Amino acid sequence: MSLDHATVRRIAKLARIRLDEDAVPRLAGELNAILGYVEQLAEVDVEGVAPLSGGAQMALRMREDEVTDGRYPDRVLANAPERIGDFFAVPKVVE
Protein backbone atom coordinates (compact mmCIF):
# COMPACT_ATOMS: atom_id res chain seq x y z
CA MET A 1 0.00 0.00 0.00
CA SER A 2 1.27 3.42 -0.89
CA LEU A 3 -0.09 6.80 0.12
CA ASP A 4 -0.22 9.60 -2.41
CA HIS A 5 0.18 13.27 -1.51
CA ALA A 6 -3.58 13.93 -1.51
CA THR A 7 -4.12 11.16 1.03
CA VAL A 8 -1.34 12.53 3.24
CA ARG A 9 -2.95 15.98 3.15
CA ARG A 10 -6.33 14.43 4.05
CA ILE A 11 -4.81 12.50 6.98
CA ALA A 12 -3.20 15.71 8.23
CA LYS A 13 -6.52 17.54 7.95
CA LEU A 14 -8.38 14.79 9.84
CA ALA A 15 -5.70 14.84 12.54
CA ARG A 16 -5.89 18.65 12.61
CA ILE A 17 -2.18 18.94 11.88
CA ARG A 18 -1.01 22.00 10.01
CA LEU A 19 1.20 20.70 7.22
CA ASP A 20 3.40 22.84 4.99
CA GLU A 21 3.35 21.86 1.33
CA ASP A 22 7.08 21.15 1.29
CA ALA A 23 6.67 18.64 4.15
CA VAL A 24 4.11 16.50 2.28
CA PRO A 25 6.63 14.39 0.29
CA ARG A 26 8.76 13.72 3.38
CA LEU A 27 5.72 12.75 5.45
CA ALA A 28 4.41 10.55 2.63
CA GLY A 29 7.72 8.68 2.63
CA GLU A 30 7.64 8.22 6.40
CA LEU A 31 4.04 7.00 6.39
CA ASN A 32 4.76 4.62 3.50
CA ALA A 33 7.72 3.21 5.44
CA ILE A 34 5.45 2.62 8.46
CA LEU A 35 2.83 0.92 6.31
CA GLY A 36 5.55 -1.21 4.71
CA TYR A 37 6.61 -2.38 8.16
CA VAL A 38 2.99 -3.24 9.01
CA GLU A 39 2.79 -5.28 5.80
CA GLN A 40 5.92 -7.16 6.88
CA LEU A 41 4.26 -7.93 10.21
CA ALA A 42 1.24 -9.34 8.37
CA GLU A 43 3.55 -11.92 6.73
CA VAL A 44 4.71 -13.36 10.06
CA ASP A 45 3.44 -16.87 10.78
CA VAL A 46 1.62 -16.74 14.12
CA GLU A 47 0.05 -20.18 13.92
CA GLY A 48 -0.14 -21.64 17.41
CA VAL A 49 0.67 -18.39 19.19
CA ALA A 50 -1.93 -17.51 21.81
CA PRO A 51 -3.28 -13.95 21.50
CA LEU A 52 -2.24 -11.53 24.21
CA SER A 53 -4.60 -8.74 25.09
CA GLY A 54 -2.49 -7.29 27.87
CA GLY A 55 -1.47 -8.00 31.41
CA ALA A 56 -5.04 -8.11 32.71
CA GLN A 57 -4.95 -11.89 33.01
CA MET A 58 -2.04 -11.76 35.44
CA ALA A 59 -2.66 -11.75 39.16
CA LEU A 60 -0.80 -9.09 41.11
CA ARG A 61 0.66 -9.66 44.52
CA MET A 62 -1.19 -7.72 47.19
CA ARG A 63 0.68 -5.74 49.82
CA GLU A 64 -0.30 -3.63 52.77
CA ASP A 65 -1.39 -0.12 51.90
CA GLU A 66 0.86 1.93 54.15
CA VAL A 67 2.09 5.51 53.95
CA THR A 68 5.88 5.78 53.94
CA ASP A 69 8.48 8.39 53.09
CA GLY A 70 9.77 6.22 50.24
CA ARG A 71 12.63 5.00 52.40
CA TYR A 72 15.17 7.16 50.56
CA PRO A 73 14.16 10.85 50.70
CA ASP A 74 17.64 12.09 49.76
CA ARG A 75 17.49 10.27 46.41
CA VAL A 76 13.93 11.45 45.79
CA LEU A 77 14.85 15.08 46.48
CA ALA A 78 18.22 14.99 44.70
CA ASN A 79 16.85 16.77 41.62
CA ALA A 80 14.56 19.17 43.44
CA PRO A 81 15.35 22.77 42.52
CA GLU A 82 14.66 23.79 46.09
CA ARG A 83 13.76 21.89 49.23
CA ILE A 84 12.78 22.51 52.82
CA GLY A 85 13.84 19.57 54.95
CA ASP A 86 12.47 16.41 53.31
CA PHE A 87 9.92 18.30 51.19
CA PHE A 88 9.86 19.97 47.79
CA ALA A 89 9.73 23.75 48.08
CA VAL A 90 7.33 25.24 45.54
CA PRO A 91 6.38 28.84 44.87
CA LYS A 92 3.14 30.11 46.31
CA VAL A 93 0.50 30.19 43.55
CA VAL A 94 -2.65 31.12 45.49
CA GLU A 95 -2.88 34.45 47.23
Contacts 24+ apart (CB under 8 A), 76-85: none
Q: What pLDDT does 2 receive?
A: 87
Q: Is the pLDDT of residue 52 over 80?
A: no
The per-residue pLDDT for range 17-37, each reduced to its tens digit, is 999 999 999 999 999 999 999
Domains annotated for the chain, with CATH where assigned, are: 3-40 (1.10.20)
CA distance between the termini of the chain: 59
53 pLDDT more than 90? no
Residue 8 pLDDT exceeds 90: yes
